[in-house]
């Protein structure tokens, strides 16, 4: 074999090896890209799922309470999210006291968002006679007692809620009184009447409201 033929053979073999090496590199690159893409997909799934609302938690936050058996002046205590909640059916006499204690209140107009917009009124409710409220003192999360009788807490007491832990007082709408360590009115949850007003469905709290 001549020197020229030997050189041509080596060049041909070199080209074959180059093509094989190139194909191998392309395969490895493609495989790496595929694995990389798969890795991104695998990582993305739990991240996306973490952004989805927890349906079970949302369902657990909805509580329905039957109120048809509560007489005028009566009340019912229950819980929402393991926190005490009270429902009071106020009488006209009880409602009349709300305008009589205005000067005694820290936030009589409910300017601090401790209630849904529809409850930003003197009654702090959808309907005047019904008070649906978290029975949690905004000072240190104690549970105030419900004391509707006049004169039971102080001589000028017209009825309301009294926290024995540190002496915070609230009127019959859960509005905090001057001289109380509690900084804000008690929280009104988001709720609606259902079943022809026979039941109340509590669905959550306003984002800006603070229990304590």
Rounded Cα gap, residues 128 and 156, in angstroms: 23
* Within-domain flag for 209: no
Active site residues: 166
* Contact of 169 with 156, CB cutoff 8 Å: no
* pLDDT band for position 165 (cuts 50, 70, 90): very high
CATH value at residue 155: 2.102.10.10
pLDDT tens-digit readout, 55-109: 555 566 899 999 999 999 999 999 999 999 999 999 999 999 999 999 999 999 9
Q: Total domain count for the chain?
A: 2
Which range of residues forms the domain containing residue 163?
58-204
- Please check whether residues 67 and 150 belong to one and the same domain: yes
Q: Which helix (H) or strand (E) holds 93?
A: helix 92-96
Regarding whether 71 and 126 lie in a shared domain, the answer is: yes
CB under 8 Å to 105, separation ≥6 — which residues? 171, 175, 176, 177, 178
Residues 100 and 19 in one domain: no
Is residue 212 assigned to a domain?
Answer: no
* Boundary (domain end) residue, out of 52, 73, 88: 52
Choose between 8 and 130: higher pLDDT.
Answer: 130
- Are 45 and 119 in the same domain? no
Q: pTM of whole model > 0.85?
A: no
What are the residues facing 87 on neighbouring strands?
Answer: 76, 132
127 φψ region: left (φ > 0), alpha (ψ -120 to 50), beta (else): beta
Reference 158, options 90, 107, 208, 212; nearest CA is 90
189's tokens? 């949850």
Mean pLDDT for 186-200 is: 97
The two structure tokens encoding residue 14: 């070199």
Based on the domain organization, do 129 and 90 belong to the same domain? yes
Residues 62 and 48 occupy one common structural domain: no
Q: What is the dihedral of CA 59, 63, 66, 67, to 10 degrees?
A: -140
Residue 168 and residue 104 share a domain: yes
Is residue 211, in this structure, part of any structural domain at all? no
Cα 92 to Cα 89: distance, rounded to the nearest angstrom: 10
Strands 169-170 and 199-204: unpaired
Query: For residue 210, is it within any domain?
Result: no
Summarize the confidence of residues 110-127 as an average pLDDT: 98
45 and 112 co-located in one domain: no
Same domain, 116 and 193: yes
């Amino acid at each position: 074999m001549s020197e020229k033929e030997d050189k041509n053979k080596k060049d041909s073999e070199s080209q074959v090896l180059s093509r094989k090496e190139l194909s191998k590199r392309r395969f490895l690159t493609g495989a790496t890209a595929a694995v990389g893409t798969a890795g991104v997909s695998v990582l993305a799934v739990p991240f996306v799922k973490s952004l989805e609302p927890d349906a079970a938690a949302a369902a657990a936050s909805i509580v329905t309470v039957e109120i048809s058996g509560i007489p005028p002046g009566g009340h019912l205590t229950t819980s929402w999210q393991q926190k005490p909640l009270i429902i009071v059916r106020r009488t006209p006499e009880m409602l009349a006291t709300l305008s009589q204690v205005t000067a005694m209140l820290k936030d009589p107009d409910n300017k601090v968002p401790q209630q849904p917009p529809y409850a930003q009124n003197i009654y702090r409710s959808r309907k005047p006679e019904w008070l649906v409220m978290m029975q949690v003192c905004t000072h240190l999360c104690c549970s105030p007692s419900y004391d509707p009788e006049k004169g039971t807490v102080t001589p000028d007491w017209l009825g309301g809620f009294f926290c024995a832990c540190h002496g915070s007082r609230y009127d019959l709408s859960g509005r905090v009184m001057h001289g109380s360590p509690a900084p804000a009115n008690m929280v009104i949850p988001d709720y609606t009447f259902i079943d022809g007003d026979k039941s109340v469905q509590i669905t959550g709290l306003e984002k800006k409201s603070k229990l304590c």
